[in-house]
């Protein structure tokens, strides 16, 4: 599996040109990309990156990749990031690694988003992977109620679990928020649910990435498949 992730990352690297401004994703697949990009930078490639998490920042710095922020540049050329699920419209579930807020901000500031993954992430309908919803701890019960209403309005239901870290404590994002993982099974109308969740005051962001993915690079046993958003 790790080899497949690296193959997808290597394929995405072919799209990177000298002088580009890049969004650097988070997770085990994006980690391969940062690693390979670091090798190119060491060999003379000139790029600048905006990391989507503190973990990616630390890795990119260790790899010698020059970094900047969205306050210091205009647009990014490409963001390269992983995903937990993607459907044929290239809508995504992201946030398994807890970085969905910065990932979405960075992807939205990019001309293109290339999603890299092993082909197990490809699904007909999103929702098998629990949907991460980043929330403010204040008023959590009211926020959960509003999220339940949004689920009902978009025809889904399922258990909501506040994410815990490996240490058993509540997982806290880079932005200081919590994450609710919603076990929905199947999200028939992801754009509708995304819109409803975005209206809830206590929801900082959710892991449905609608219309952001431009290209998917999927590595599988049969080779690499590149899918462009129609």
Residues near ligand 5RP (CB under 6 A)? 25-30, 81-84, 94-100, 103
Q: What share of the chain is helix, strand, coil (3-state, %, to 5)?
A: 30, 30, 40
* 134 counts as catalytic: no
For the beta sheet containing 159-162, the strands, ordered from the edge strand earlier in sequence to the opposite edge, are 159-162, 178-183, 131-135, 203-206
**Least separation, in Å, of the C-beta of 105 and ligand 5RP?**
12
Nearer to ligand 5RP, 81 or 87 (CB): 81
Nearer to ligand 5RP, 119 or 148 (CB): 119
Nearer to ligand 5RP, 38 or 213 (CB): 213
**Least separation, in Å, of the C-beta of 228 and ligand 5RP?**
20
Nearer to ligand 5RP, 25 or 127 (CB): 25
DSSP state of 171: P
Report the 10 Å Cβ neighbour count for 224.
14
- Contact between 225 and 124 under an 8 Å Cβ cutoff? The reply is no
What is the maximal distance between C-alpha atoms in the chain?
Answer: 53
**Least separation, in Å, of the C-beta of 129 and ligand 5RP?**
9
Instruction: Considering the candidates 103, 134, 205, 228, report the single residue annotated as catalytic.
Output: 103
The helix (H) or strand (E) run that includes residue 141 is helix 140-153
Distances (CA, A) of 227 to 28, 89, 181, 215: 21, 10, 28, 6
**Least separation, in Å, of the C-beta of 156 and ligand 5RP?**
20
Residues belonging to the active site: 103
């Amino acid at each position: 599996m790790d080899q497949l992730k690296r193959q997808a990352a290597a394929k995405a690297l072919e799209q990177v040109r000298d002088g580009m401004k890049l969004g650097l994703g988070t997770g085990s697949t994006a980690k391969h990309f940062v690693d390979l990009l670091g090798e190119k930078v060491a060999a003379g490639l000139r790029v600048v990156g905006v990391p989507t998490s503190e973990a990616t920042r630390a890795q990119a710095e260790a790899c010698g990749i020059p970094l900047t922020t969205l306050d210091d540049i205009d647009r990014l050329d490409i963001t390269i990031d992983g995903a937990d699920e993607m459907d044929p419209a290239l809508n995504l579930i992201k946030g398994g690694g807890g970085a969905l807020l910065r990932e979405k901000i960075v992807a939205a500031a990019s001309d293109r988003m290339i999603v890299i993954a092993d082909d197990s992430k490809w699904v007909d309908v999103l929702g098998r992977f629990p949907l991460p919803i980043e929330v403010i701890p204040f008023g959590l019960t009211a926020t959960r109620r509003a999220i339940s209403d949004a689920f009902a309005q978009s025809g889904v239901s399922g258990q909501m679990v506040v994410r815990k870290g490996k240490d058993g404590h509540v997982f806290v994002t880079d932005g200081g928020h919590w994450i609710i993982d919603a076990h929905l099974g199947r999200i028939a109308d992801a754009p509708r649910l995304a819109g409803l969740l975005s209206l809830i005051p206590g929801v900082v962001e959710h892991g449905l990435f609608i219309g952001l993915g431009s290209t998917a690079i999927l590595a599988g046993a049969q080779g690499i498949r590149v899918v462009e958003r129609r």
